[in-house]
Amino acid sequence: AAICQLTKNLALELSPNIRVNCVAPSYIDTPMTRRDKEKDAVRNALVANYPLKRIGYVEDTTNAILFLLSEKSSFITGEILRVSGGGHLR
């Protein structure tokens, strides 16, 4: 919650010359998250609850970041972009 509020405050403080946004990924498939076999049950439970029925990949997060860095997002500031497969909806 602190990072979200910091994002909003910085967006107000630094505008109009600097845009500030936050990317908030959920469970992402990485070597670290694959390492512990005991977490397979946790991963499966998360996937079952995500509307998109999969966990996120590193590319999902990097694509969100690349979008926010591009001119395609030039009218976006102070936003929290959830990369969660819809998991935050439940």
Other beta carbons within 10 Å of 44:
11
What is the pTM assigned to this prediction?
A: 0.86
pLDDT in tens, 45-89: 889 999 999 999 999 999 999 999 999 999 999 999 999 999 989
What pLDDT shows up at residue 88? 87
**Tokens 């102070």 belong to residue:** 78
- Domain of 27, CATH number, reads 3.40.50.720
Q: Is 82 helix (H, G, I), strand (E, B) or coil?
A: strand
pLDDT in tens, 5-53: 999 999 999 999 999 999 999 999 999 888 877 778 888 988 999 999 9
Q: Is the peptide bond preceding residue 51 cis, with omega within 30 degrees of 0?
A: no
| Structural domain count, the chain | 1
- What span, in angstroms and rounded, lies between the C-alpha atoms of 72 and 88? 25
- Whole domain around residue 35: which residue ranges? 2-89
